[in-house]
Amino acid sequence: MTAIPQDLKYSSSHEWCKIDGDTVIIGITDFAQSQLGDIVFLELPEVGSNAEREKSFGTIESVKSVSDFIAPLSGTVSAVNESLPDNLERINTSPYEEAWMVKMNITDTAELDTLMNAEEYAAFCAAE
């Protein structure tokens, strides 16, 4: 079983969210990186761009496939992990620490209720 930190929230498209007030830090889960395999390319959104919940706001390319990076919440991108595109292996080795991808100011806190807790996400992954 892959790692599922208890203090994070999860989307059905396998992004994790660390919530800090109206700011959220987003990356892809350990389950997602294990399904993708070695990451070879990453396209992140621009700082200042708007993200819409459940819409693509980036691309993750692995040796196996190309996947959309889906916004788990709506908001404005306030920061991106600038070092990540030059250190893609971090996505596979440290998905929850070094491989955060985006920081975003969320616009609708009610959307937080659409995310899963660790227990719900574990059950979701087990069913996939």
Tens digit of each residue's pLDDT (9 = 90 or more) over 36-91: 999 999 999 999 999 999 999 999 999 989 999 999 999 999 999 999 999 999 99
How much of the chain, in percent, has pLDDT values that exceed 70?
A: 99
Both structure tokens of 118 = 């660790």
- The vertex-61 CA angle with 59 and 66, nearest 5°, equals 80
DSSP conformation letters of 89-104 = HHHHH-TTTTT--EEE
DSSP 6: T
Domain boundaries, the chain: 14-111
Is pLDDT above 80 for 33?
yes
Taking the C-alpha atoms of 103, 115, 36 and 4 in order, what is their torsion angle to the nearest 10 degrees?
A: 90
The structural architecture, per CATH, of the domain 14-111 is: Beta Barrel (2.40)
**Cα distance between residue 128 and residue 116, in whole Å:** 15
Q: pLDDT grade, residue 10 (50/70/90)?
A: very high
Is pLDDT above 80 for 1?
no
DSSP conformation letters of 53-106 = TTSEEEEEEESS-EEEEE-SS-EEEEEE-TTGGG-THHHHH-TTTTT--EEEEE
